[in-house]
């Protein structure tokens, strides 16, 4: 039996949707939202009825009857830390997704659970989220930061990382739970994760303050210099956060986060572009080496994924430094829609038990 699943993946000014019959996509669509119209709602959560209507309208336009759906799966947002896997959307989850104090902000992905549950409840079918960014399977030792007031937290591109890891395990004819891998998701932010028996036991915080710099983010920075900037009087906390997460990394040095544009500059003799680009690759490779140490050298595979994995220069620079560790797999792009759908399908088929969020 094939299971039909609707996937809803909200972003800041768009909502990606797709309908899958098991692994086969029936249709995919990106619903665009005008930024000015979005602002009129006053907050992110207040947008969910507006976006839900667009989703239902898109189903109708593509001749998909809602009654044919067996489940609706939304993108997991900033909920409490949870173990990896698929979770049923419940009222406690929705309450936490409304709470900006939980993580200091509300992200557009928080809408995924609201839209999924609302549509699913009307159809009397289950709604799920899969591997949210707050997946936390850290070992106890990985939480220690060096400052008792600060605990290292697990925030990563867990959805894409685990889906690609499962896919590679199939290629290796191994169970994902019986493999050790190093995952590198390279996009606007970069997550480098150590996966032990399929669990992300350590990963840099790709959003703020850990790991390599990326196209938009500053990555790990010298603490003394951060303190100097913080107390210089030149910047507010909000301005510094924006500097480190939105206009840091490649943008801050080169004025662009477009990897292909930077490669063109390098080929035209731009030495500054070359050294900055290679420095990012150097830091990515160094973080991979750290994960190899976490896994004590017992690494079955390393994989590079995300949008930057399409960039041949990045792949070449990184793999040249880490090829001695383990076989390398290049899986470009983000597989979020497939990952969400398959998380729901695994539960519907009884291959996985959905977790209860509490």
Quick one: pLDDT at residue 182? 98
CATH classification of the domain holding 195: 3.30.420.40
Domain that holds residue 189: 140-326
Strand, helix or coil at 115? Answer: helix
CA-CA distance, 212 to 250, in Å (whole number)?
11
148 and 190 fall within a common domain: yes
111 and 248 fall within a common domain: no
236 and 300 fall within a common domain: yes
Quick one: pLDDT at residue 62? 95
DSSP 177: G
Side-by-side strand order, sheet with 199-203: 199-203, 190-196, 180-186, 301-306, 328-332
Report how many domains make up the chain. Answer: 2
351 and 223 fall within a common domain: no
- Helix 111-123 vs helix 48-61: crossing angle, to nearest 10: 60
159 and 180 fall within a common domain: yes
Quick one: pLDDT at residue 245? 92
Quick one: pLDDT at residue 185? 97
Contact between 66 and 59 under an 8 Å Cβ cutoff? The reply is: yes
CA-CA distance, 243 to 217, in Å (whole number)?
8
Counting runs of H as helices and runs of E as strands, what totals does the chain give? 12, 14
- CB burial readout 216-226, b (16+ within 10 A) else e: bbbbeeeeeee
Tokens of 304: 């590079």
With tokens 């510094």, the residue in question is 240
CA-CA distance, 34 to 25, in Å (whole number)?
27
CA-CA distance, 65 to 288, in Å (whole number)?
46
Report CA dihedral (311, 7, 353, 103) to the nearest 10 degrees.
Answer: 70
93 and 161 fall within a common domain: no
Of the chain, the end-to-end C-alpha distance in Å amounts to 32
80 and 151 fall within a common domain: no
Quick one: pLDDT at residue 207? 81
CA-CA distance, 3 to 20, in Å (whole number)?
8
Is 198 inside any structural domain?
A: yes
Contact between 214 and 249 under an 8 Å Cβ cutoff? The reply is: yes
18 and 109 fall within a common domain: yes
Is 315 inside any structural domain?
A: yes
Q: What is the pLDDT along the chain (358 residues), one digit of tens a residue?
A: 899 999 999 998 899 999 999 999 999 999 999 888 888 898 999 999 999 999 999 999 999 999 999 999 999 999 999 999 999 999 999 999 999 999 888 999 999 999 999 999 999 999 999 999 999 999 999 999 999 999 999 989 999 999 999 999 999 999 999 999 999 999 989 999 999 999 999 999 988 879 999 999 999 999 999 999 999 999 999 999 999 999 999 999 999 999 999 999 999 999 999 999 999 999 999 999 999 999 999 999 999 999 999 999 999 999 999 999 999 999 999 899 999 999 999 999 999 999 999 9
Query: Would the pTM of this model clear 0.85, i.e. be above it?
Result: yes
155 and 273 fall within a common domain: yes
CA-CA distance, 62 to 54, in Å (whole number)?
12
Is 342 inside any structural domain?
A: yes
H-helix segments, the chain: 35-39, 48-61, 91-97, 111-123, 158-171, 223-230, 237-245, 249-254, 259-267, 271-294, 312-322, 336-348
Determine how many CB atoms are found less than 10 A away from the CB of residue 147. 8
Contact between 83 and 136 under an 8 Å Cβ cutoff? The reply is: yes
């Amino acid at each position: 039996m094939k299971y039909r699943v609707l996937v809803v993946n909200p972003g800041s000014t768009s909502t990606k949707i797709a309908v899958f019959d098991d692994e086969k996509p029936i249709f995919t669509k990106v619903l665009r939202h005008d930024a000015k119209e979005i602002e009129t709602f006053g907050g992110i959560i207040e947008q969910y009825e507006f976006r839900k209507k667009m989703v239902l309208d898109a189903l109708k336009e593509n001749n998909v009857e809602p009654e044919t759906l067996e489940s609706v799966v939304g993108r997991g947002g900033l909920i409490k830390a949870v173990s990896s896997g698929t979770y049923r959307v419940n009222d406690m989850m929705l309450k936490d997704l409304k709470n900006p104090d939980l993580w200091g902000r509300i992200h557009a992905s928080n809408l995924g659970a609201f839209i999924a549950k609302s549509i699913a409840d009307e159809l009397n079918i289950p709604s799920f989220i899969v591997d949210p960014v707050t997946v936390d399977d850290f070992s106890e030792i990985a939480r220690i930061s060096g400052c008792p007031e600060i605990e290292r937290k697990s925030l990563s591109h867990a959805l894409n990382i685990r889906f690609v890891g499962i896919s590679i395990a199939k290629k290796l004819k191994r169970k994902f739970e019986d493999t050790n891998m190093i995952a590198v998701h390279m996009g606007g932010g970069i997550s480098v994760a150590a996966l032990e028996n399929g669990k992300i036991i350590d990963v840099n915080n790709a959003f703020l303050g850990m790991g390599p710099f990326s196209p938009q983010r500053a990555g790990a920075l010298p603490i003394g210099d951060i303190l100097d900037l913080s107390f210089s009087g030149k910047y507010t906390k909000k301005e510094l956060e924006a500097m480190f997460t939105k206009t840091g990394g490649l943008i801050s040095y080169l004025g662009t986060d477009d990897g292909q544009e930077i490669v063109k500059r390098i080929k035209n003799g731009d030495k500054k572009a070359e050294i900055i680009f290679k420095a990012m690759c150097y830091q990515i490779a160094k973080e991979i080496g750290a994960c190899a140490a976490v896994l004590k050298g017992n690494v079955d595979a390393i994989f590079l994924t995300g949008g930057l994995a399409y960039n041949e220069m990045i792949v070449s620079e990184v793999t040249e430094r880490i090829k001695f560790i383990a076989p390398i797999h290049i899986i470009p792009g983000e597989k979020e829609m497939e990952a969400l759908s398959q998380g729901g399908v695994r539960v519907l088929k009884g291959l996985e038990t959905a977790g209860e969020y509490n």
